[in-house]
Structure 1
Amino acid sequence: MLLQALDQHLINPPARPGLVGMRRFGLEFWYFGVKNARACLFVVLFFAAVFLVPRAGVFGLPRYDVLLLVAIAIQAWMLWSGLESADEIKAVCVFHLVGFALEVFKTSSGIRSWSYPDPAFTKLFNVPLFAGFMYASVGSYMIQAWRLFKLRIRHHPPYWMATLIAVLIYANFFTRHYIGDYRFYLAACALGLYARTSVVYRPFDRERSMPLPLAFVLIGFFIWLGENISTFGGVWRYPDQMGTWSVVHVGKWSAWSLLVIMTFTIIIHLKHIKARIHVSV
């Protein structure tokens, strides 16, 4: 399969030990971009459907229902082709459930943080079932990136600490409507917890590293860009976008970065990933 051949090349590119200076930087930067683009396979295919499926739907089937079928088809194809394992699909399903529960709460009549204005047969509690796949796409990207970049984690905090901060981050998305928003306190705690943690990755034939908190922030930024694309396409709308579209508030960037931490914590419990993590003692 062509895609599998591409993956093998990206994972094990030919060594170029004599490459130095700007030529090495340029080649590593190119492979870094290609690997990230490849890791976004589910995201790209899904958001292509978001823009290509007419708002009126297809053959009488509402748009949200079509998007659900597309998301399921993409996920099934990735499993069938071996691009994701059964264990990884289970993790993606966890992301779907966690995201859908959050969507139900945020769109409820008492909260109304955002809404899904179009009709659908597959709406549950006013949330279309495809919505969970938008969260699952983040997990899919991180799983694919782990494999393509041969990621390793150095000085990861004890698992119980990482799990605790992830649970508190998720809880804050709910409790902020009742007892206040503590995201920045949680962000400070997470920054302290992961201060010594670095992610080792291989863009080309040599390992590089970056602080793990920086990776969280960068991924959160690109999710925020994707959120702007989705709201522009009318997939969902925030209250201030009902009359005319406007850029999603930059404060959402911090919320997405925290959600990335939670997603990362779920992923590290996969057996083949856990084996590449060095936990601090």
Structure 2
Amino acid sequence: MVSKGVWLYRFRQLFIFGYQQAMSCIFPVIIFASLALTKVVSIPYFHRYDLLLLICLIAQIGMVAFKLETIDELKVICMFHIIGLMLELYKVHMGSWSYPGEGWSKLSGVPLYSGFMYASVASYICQAWRRLSISVYGWPRQRYAVIVCTAIYLNFFTHHYFWDLRWVLTILLVIVFYRTSFTYKVGGKEYRMHVVLSFLLIGFFIWLAENISTFMGAWAYPDQEHSWRLVHLGKISSWFLLVVISVIIVAQLKRVKSAR
């Protein structure tokens, strides 16, 4: 039988882990709060997408000003903003989803604030990496990681014309990273998790966040244009692969920085 002291210790560890996760999610939470606020509150002559962009810019400046993010982390986040915006421009052009609202800050049908949704994922990864003292073991050779990352990103574009290789890439991912794991510290105690499992868990929670975002009108899939419905479960695989890209880029940048 598990003693009371053990249960208290486990509860304490869970509380610390939850607190660190919550602190790592500050930027995504700001975006969710902004989506909720702008859904019920409007400013005359100020489009919703423009207001969201302004809030995201202020939030990003505030994160650095209050030292919640470092300058190096900001550089990574800006990179993800560009990567995400390029993907958004292409996907909206192909009709994968749309932004039906109006806005001065829309580029080819894509509001510029949308890049911050990808940047918020990078913000979470960078902050969790630092707050939980994450270390990587068994990381594959750099060229293999780069090849997998590049192939996954390109598949988001090419599957509209050729075969969708997401499951082939998932198998390749498991093969390349079969020896790779993360360690993280909670309350001074170290834990270990296989890297593929961490990708899947983050992808699942992003899918949950996606359902909240579409419900709040952040964007709309073709089957949500007339009424909201649950995002297809298959989207978890897309977010899973997008998380792979995010983590690989962050890990590679940290390895380069450590080498310097």
Q: What TM-score does the superposition give when structure 2 sets the normalisation length?
A: 0.94
How far the C-alpha of 1:270 sits from its partner, in A, is: 3.2
CA distance in 1: counterparts of 2:40 and 2:152, whole angstroms = 34
Q: Name structure 2 gaps, 5 residues minimum.
A: none
Paired residue for 2:123?
A: 140
Paired residue for 1:94?
A: 79
One-letter code aligned to 1:160: R
CA distance in 1: counterparts of 2:120 and 2:22, whole angstroms = 13
1:65 aligns with 2:50: yes
Paired residue for 2:10?
A: 25
How far the C-alpha of 1:25 sits from its partner, in A, is: 1.6
Please identify, of 21-30 and 62-71, the stretch whose mean Cα deviation from structure 2 is larger.
Answer: 21-30
CA distance in 2: counterparts of 1:226 and 1:60, whole angstroms = 29
Does structure 1 conserve the Cα–Cα contact (< 8 Å) formed by 2:49 and 2:101? yes
**What SS does the corresponding residue of 2:189 show, helix, strand or coil?**
coil
Matches within 5 A, 1:141-220: 141-220=124-203
C-alpha spacing 1:37/1:80, structure 2 compared with 1 (3 Å): same
How far the C-alpha of 1:148 sits from its partner, in A, is: 0.7
1:269 aligns with 2:252: yes
Matched residues, number: 256
One-letter code aligned to 1:53: T
Does structure 1 conserve the Cα–Cα contact (< 8 Å) formed by 2:39 and 2:216? no
Q: Please report the RMSD computed on the Cα atoms of aligned residues, expressed in angstroms.
A: 1.7
1:237 aligns with 2:194: no
Q: What TM-score does the superposition give when structure 1 sets the normalisation length?
A: 0.87
Please identify, of 267-276 and 224-233, the stretch whose mean Cα deviation from structure 2 is larger.
Answer: 267-276
Paired residue for 1:126?
A: 109
1:75 aligns with 2:60: yes
Which of 173, 182, 207 is 1:224 aligned to? 207
How far the C-alpha of 1:275 sits from its partner, in A, is: 3.3
CA distance in 2: counterparts of 1:37 and 1:98, whole angstroms = 25
CA distance in 2: counterparts of 1:29 and 1:274, whole angstroms = 31
CA distance in 2: counterparts of 1:44 and 1:272, whole angstroms = 29
How far the C-alpha of 1:105 sits from its partner, in A, is: 0.5
Please identify, of 266-275 and 192-201, the stretch whose mean Cα deviation from structure 2 is larger.
Answer: 266-275
For residues 117-139 of structure 1, the C-alpha deviation after alignment (integer angstroms, 9 at most, x for no partner) is: 00000000110000000000000
**What SS does the corresponding residue of 1:199 show, helix, strand or coil?**
strand
Does structure 2 conserve the Cα–Cα contact (< 8 Å) formed by 1:117 and 1:236? yes
**What SS does the corresponding residue of 1:59 show, helix, strand or coil?**
coil
CA distance in 2: counterparts of 1:161 and 1:269, whole angstroms = 11
Does structure 2 conserve the Cα–Cα contact (< 8 Å) formed by 1:268 and 1:274? no
One-letter code aligned to 1:26: F
One-letter code aligned to 1:180: W
Paired residue for 1:249?
A: 232
C-alpha spacing 1:56/1:117, structure 2 compared with 1 (3 Å): farther
**What SS does the corresponding residue of 2:219 show, helix, strand or coil?**
coil
Does structure 1 conserve the Cα–Cα contact (< 8 Å) formed by 2:39 and 2:217? no
One-letter code aligned to 1:121: W
How far the C-alpha of 1:167 sits from its partner, in A, is: 0.5
Which of 30, 34, 58 is 1:49 aligned to? 34
CA distance in 2: counterparts of 1:160 and 1:47, whole angstroms = 36
**What SS does the corresponding residue of 2:138 show, helix, strand or coil?**
strand
